[in-house]
Amino acid sequence: MGIPARRGGGGGGGGGGVVAVDMLSERAAQMREALVKSQSITDNMVSILGSFDHRLSALETAMRPTQIRTHAIRRAHENIDKTLKAAEVILSQFDISRQAEAKILKGPHEDLESYLEAIDQLRKNIQFFSNNKSFKSSDGVLNHTNNLLAKAISKLEEEFKQLLSSYSKAVEPERLFECLPNSMRPSSGSPGDSGSKLPSSHSHSDQNNSAENSVYTTPTLIPPRILPLLHDLAQQMVQAGNQQQLQKIYRDTRSPVLEESLRKLGVEKLSKDDVQKMQWEVLEAKIGNWIHFMRIAIEALFRGKACNDIRESALGLTKRLAQTAQETFGDFEEAVEKDATKTAVADGTVHPLTSYVINYVKFLFDYQSTLKQLFQEFENGDGSNSQLAAVTMRIMQALQTNLDGKSKQYRDASLTHLFLMNNIHYMVNQSVRRSEAKDLLGDDWVQRHRRIVQQHANQYKRIAWAKILQCLSVQGLTSSGGGSAVSADGGNSSGVSRAIIKDRCFDLLIPGNLC
């Protein structure tokens, strides 16, 4: 507080100062009292707050078990919610499975679309339970669902077979001809005229050139409205891993229909036994047709990507055929070289083995172009023509080796040379009558073997005439007839008769009776 200003004189001034001091003292006392009270209140508040802290600590200690129980209850509720949701998913799968089972038991006849949807639902169920095998009953559910799916696929197979059988009918020839361009439709004659000949190579090329610009119409074999159903059924069977069964059903169902359609076109169905019993002239004509039709099938019908396997199979079959041809020629060559026929030709003429082998080789010449194509599979840079020529020469050499062995069966050297001369002459003359044989064997082979024939002929004449001259000599006549020698003018000397000379010459002219 401020000290009041001094007023008046000196006496008055002393009384005023005392009053101010008293007031200051009083106020100081009041302030001390207030401070004491404030300190007391502070101490009381500190005591109260300390009591609150103690109580709160005790309360927290008392509440901790409750909090723990509350947290456990909350976690239990969360687990229950998760379990309920999982149970709902499982129960929904069971419910879907029951619905699908009901549709499958009805079969695909009433509602094929719902039936296919039920199969898809079963597959999803199988995938679900396979991924959640921790469920106690998952194994049992999987077994039941798999069995149900197998039954469903079996019914699909029956439905596929029934639909395919119902709508697969043989196509009449007239309908097939209507699919061809007008320029290629038959003008007259029955569709199955087997006596008609195939067009020549020139007509083939003309037809191929014109056919490139022709418009073909694909025949309707199965109604278009049925094709999507068959496609869906086939797709389900493939997804189930039943490709083989699907192919078998299709083959068994469609094959008789195709055969009937071909039969109406005049195509014969021949078994292996029928082919083996057929006369070669008839079979040869049919083989030409079969090759022509097979070429069309491979080059035209099976040229798409979907038929790659068929073309590869045909190529593999060609390679196997070429390999078999190589092995057959090798076996034939070995059989010719090792032929052990003991029967010798008495008069040194052509042996049956020679005739058989030459006919075999001539038969090969008829199929020279085909054999060249086969030998291309084993071509090593020398060319298919040289391959075929090498095979032919090896067969000829095997025959000649065998003939050399057979010629040694003759005790008479002249017959040996006569036998080889006749057989090798037959080999050369019969083989080279055709120009293609000359192309294969070559002029060197022909000239060399003609020289061999001439050599054996010279040897035969030398040995045979040597014996004739020996028999006609004085010593020969006297030793065999016991008479005198023949004079220089041809007359009889010392009783040698013309009958003896005639008989001896007759015997000499027969090779088997050479002396």
In tens digits, the chain (515 residues) has pLDDT values of 444 444 444 455 556 778 888 888 888 888 888 888 888 888 888 888 777 777 778 777 877 887 788 878 888 877 887 777 766 667 777 777 777 778 888 888 778 888 888 888 888 888 877 777 667 666 777 888 888 888 888 888 888 899 999 998 888 888 888 877 776 666 554 444 444 444 444 444 455 555 455 566 777 888 888 899 899 889 988 888 888 999 999 999 999 998 888 888 888 888 888 988 889 888 888 888 888 887 777 777 777 777 888 888 888 888 888 888 888 888 999 999 888 877 778 788 899 999 999 888 888 877 777 787 777 755 555 555 677 888 888 999 999 999 998 888 888 888 899 999 999 999 888 877 666 677 778 888 888 999 999 999 999 999 888 877 777 765 555 555 444 444 444 444 444 555 665 565 555 555 444 33
pLDDT of residue 435: 61
Paired tokens of 394: 């090896």
- The CB density around residue 415, as the number of other CB atoms within 10 Å, is 23
- Integer-rounded Cα Rg, in Å, for the chain is 59
What is the largest distance, in Å, between two alpha-carbon atoms of the chain? 233
Q: Are 251 and 159 in contact (CB under 8 A)?
A: no
In angstroms, the CA 289 to CA 199 distance is 10
Residue length of the chain = 515
Paired tokens of 453: 């024939």
Question: Domain 322-471 classified CATH 1.10.3470?
Answer: no
pLDDT of residue 29: 87
- Burial class for 308, CB neighbours closer than 10 Å (0-12, 13-18, 19+): exposed
Q: How far is CA 311 from CA 212, 314, 370, 375, 506, in A?
A: 22, 5, 19, 19, 70
Q: How far is CA 149 from CA 18, 100, 205, in A?
A: 120, 10, 55
At which residue do the structure tokens 């699909």 appear?
156
The number of CA neighbours under 13 Å toward the Cβ of 252 is 10
- Residue 423 sits at the vertex; the CA angle it makes with 420 and 424, to the nearest 5 degrees, is 80
In angstroms, the CA 288 to CA 225 distance is 40
DSSP 23-58: HHHHHHHHHHHHHHHHHHHHHHHHHHHHHHHHHHHH
Q: Are 414 and 463 in contact (CB under 8 A)?
A: yes
pLDDT of residue 249: 92
Nearest to 464 by CA among 501, 419, 404, 413: 413
184: Cβ contacts below 8 Å, ≥ 6 apart = 207, 211, 214
In angstroms, the CA 316 to CA 308 distance is 12
In angstroms, the CA 44 to CA 47 distance is 5
pLDDT of residue 215: 65
User: In this structure, what DSSP letter does residue 9 have?
Assistant: S
φ and ψ at residue 183, rounded to 5 degrees: -70, -15
pLDDT of residue 380: 55
410: Cβ contacts below 8 Å, ≥ 6 apart = 344, 348, 416, 419
φ and ψ at residue 312, rounded to 5 degrees: -65, -35
pLDDT of residue 64: 80
In angstroms, the CA 338 to CA 332 distance is 10
pLDDT of residue 76: 81
Domain ranges of the chain: 322-471, 473-515
DSSP 387-428: HHHHHHHHHHHHHHHHHHHHHTT-SSHHHHHHHHHHHHHHHH
Helices (H) and strands (E) counted in the chain, each on its own, are 17, 0
